[in-house]
């Protein structure tokens, strides 16, 4: 009898499987159905694509106004002297900007392009807040002449503004941007003057002592997609302290404190577990954090509060309708009612990375720059009687990096299926680029329920119309 003992061993079978292999063995581990989006503001998604083509950006006027009114109520019900500025860089569309202006928002711009756009839309200079680390001399001359509120970013800009205002008839209201430690990381030290090392105080002193300038605003913007309202409490507390310091030393009480923006939308960064409502606090929590500090001041010493929100207001109001143009993968997951047994279906899902279903869409990362960081949701426009499985969404560009979602649970899709990507209203319009393919049309569904074209689909002249071909190159 062989008495040799061999201890049990564990094969590498499990180790070579994906981390979610156990879930894949359960046919319904990811649910029995997938959320769909049949319509936007009562208009069927399929009819929008049929009328305006695919891909197609869609914005909801109702969604935009609803967010603006909720934010206004959240802050003004707690602190009446609050003013709002729309962050132009978040979305350049004239229709979007005008909706916020109709709701009472002034303009916040960060370049000569954005300044000119606001003026073209009828916004007067006095209703423009001019931010940014670089403001060319020519646009500064214009902004000074039109009495825009320039928020000074650095010493070189302060030198130039002092030069340009030497001979003005009355003092020009200006602000200064400051950066501070609000107990979050990273600290945005690129912009403005430091509070902690006294630089902001020295800049304020220089402005206060200049008879041609009047220090109107202390401004800070602590970052983007800030999930902790307490960071704003810290920031406004430090601005109040800086304001008090300047008042004690120079008898000047700065009229306005500007907390910028950075309030998150209902979107998730990669690595975050949803749903978004579980991890993202409502705007009222941010309003509480900011206004509690200001309301502790004596009534006569309370400043105007100014905010420059963008993402929170527009992100959920924006959709991108896109169509499946190709399917990929060694073996596509089959529907539950196919000839494949449930057991065989489960085993098929375990074949590895190459076996996941992949779909090529007609919209790519050239239109959705923010998908680099955010998990955009993908919603089929029809009900599909099959459980979801891990899928990958590619764009149409001839670039390996053109991936909208590396992994998302979707039912089996067919060529021609419409998928709605949401939310995509913030930054994607303003950061989209003409690369390989034309940029799509943009539609806004009005409060009256009527979809209207607000930007036409690009054609060749839109892309190369500004080019000039030297004579010696000629045409063939």
The encoded tokens of residue 172 equal 């020009």
Of the two residues 253 and 15, the one the predictor is more confident about is: 253
d(CA 432, CA 439): 8
pLDDT value for 18: 54
Cβ atoms of residues 25 and 19 within 8 Å = no
pLDDT of residue 440: 97
220-236 tens-digit pLDDT: 999 999 999 999 999 99
Fill in the DSSP letter of residue 125.
G
Give the whole-angstrom CA distance, residue 419 versus residue 409: 13
> Is 23's pLDDT higher than 80?
no
Of 73-87, 93-107, 260-274, the least confident: 260-274
Which pLDDT score, from 0 to 100, does residue 412 have? 93
Residue 282 has pLDDT above 90, yes or no: yes
Domains and CATH numbers, the chain: 21-57+317-456 (2.40.37.10), 92-309 (3.20.20.10)
Q: Select, from the ranges 1-10, 144-153, 178-187, the one with the highest average predicted confidence (pLDDT).
A: 144-153
3-state secondary structure of 79: coil
- Calpha distance 475→469 (Å, rounded): 9
Q: Which of 314, 307, 326, 321 is nearest to 265 (CA)?
A: 314
Q: Where does 281-428 show beta strands of DSSP type E?
A: 304-307, 318-328, 357-361, 377-380, 389-394, 403-410, 418-422
**How large is the average pLDDT for residues 29-37?**
72
Residue-wise pLDDT for 380-418, tens only, equals: 999 998 888 889 999 999 999 999 999 999 999 999 999
Cα–Cα distance measured from residue 358 to residue 350, given in angstroms and rounded to the nearest whole number: 15
User: Residue 21: what pLDDT?
Assistant: 55
The mean predicted confidence, pLDDT, of the chain is 91
Instruction: Give me the percent of the chain exceeding a pLDDT of 70.
Output: 87
Looking at residue 333, what is its pLDDT?
46
Look at residue 24 in the predicted model and tell me its pLDDT: 55
Residue 137 has pLDDT above 60, yes or no: yes
- State the pTM of this model: 0.88
The whole-number pLDDT of residue 147 equals 98
pLDDT tens digit string along 200-257?
999 999 999 999 999 999 999 999 999 999 999 999 999 999 999 999 999 999 999 9
CA neighbor of 88 nearest in space, from 250, 335, 264, 314? 314
pLDDT at 20 over 90: no
The answer to whether residues 416 and 426 touch, using CB atoms and an 8 Å cutoff, is no
Assigned token pair, 251: 């008898």
Q: Provide, rounded to the nearest whole percent, the portion of the chain with pLDDT above 90.
A: 81
């Amino acid at each position: 009898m062989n008495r040799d003992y061999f201890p049990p061993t564990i094969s590498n079978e499990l180790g070579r499987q994906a981390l979610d292999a156990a879930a894949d063995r359960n046919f319904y581990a990811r649910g029995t159905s997938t959320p769909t989006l049949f319509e936007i503001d009562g208009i069927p998604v399929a009819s929008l694509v049929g009328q305006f083509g695919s891909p197609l950006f869609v914005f909801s006027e109702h969604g935009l106004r609803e967010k603006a009114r909720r934010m206004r109520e959240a802050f003004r019900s707690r602190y009446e002297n609050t003013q709002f500025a729309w962050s132009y860089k978040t979305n350049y569309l004239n229709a979007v900007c005008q909706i916020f202006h109709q709701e009472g928002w002034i303009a916040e711009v960060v370049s000569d392009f954005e300044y000119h756009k606001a003026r073209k839309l009828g916004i007067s200079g006095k209703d423009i807040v001019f931010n940014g680390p670089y403001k060319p001399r020519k646009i500064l001359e214009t902004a000074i002449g039109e009495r825009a509120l320039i928020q000074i970013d650095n010493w070189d800009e302060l030198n130039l503004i002092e030069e340009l205002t030497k001979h003005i008839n009355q003092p020009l209201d200006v602000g200064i941007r400051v950066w501070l430690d609000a107990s979050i990381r990273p600290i945005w030290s690129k912009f403005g003057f430091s509070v902690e090392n006294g630089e902001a105080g020295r800049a304020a002193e220089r402005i206060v002592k200049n008879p041609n300038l009047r220090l109107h605003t202390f401004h800070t913007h602590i970052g983007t997609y800030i999930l902790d309202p307490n960071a704003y409490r810290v920031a406004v507390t430090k601005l109040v302290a800086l304001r008090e310091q300047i008042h004690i030393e120079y008898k000047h009480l700065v009229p306005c404190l500007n907390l910028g923006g950075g309030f998150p939308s209902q979107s998730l960064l990669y690595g975050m577990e949803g749903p978004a409502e579980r991890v993202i606090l409502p705007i009222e929590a941010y309003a509480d954090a900011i206004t509690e500090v200001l309301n502790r001041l004596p009534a006569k010493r309370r400043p105007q509060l100014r905010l420059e929100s963008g993402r929170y207001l527009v992100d959920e109001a924006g959709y991108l309708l896109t169509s499946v143009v190709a399917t990929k993968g060694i073996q596509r997951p089959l529907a539950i009612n196919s000839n494949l047994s449930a057991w065989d279906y489960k085993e098929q899902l375990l074949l590895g990375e190459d076996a996941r279903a992949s779909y090529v869409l007609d919209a790519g990362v050239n239109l959705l720059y923010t998908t680099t960081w955010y998990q955009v949701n993908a919603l089929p426009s029809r009900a599909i009687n099959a459980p979801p499985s891990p899928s990958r969404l590619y764009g149409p560009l001839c670039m390996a990096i053109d991936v909208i979602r590396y992994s998302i649970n979707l039912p089996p899709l067919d060529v021609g299926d419409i998928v709605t990507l949401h939310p995509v209203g913030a930054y994607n319009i303003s950061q989209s680029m003409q690369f390989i393919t034309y940029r799509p049309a943009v539609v806004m569904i009005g409060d009256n329920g009527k979809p209207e074209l607000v930007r036409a689909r690009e054609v060749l002249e839109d892309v190369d119309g500004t080019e000039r071909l030297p004579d010696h190159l000629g045409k063939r």
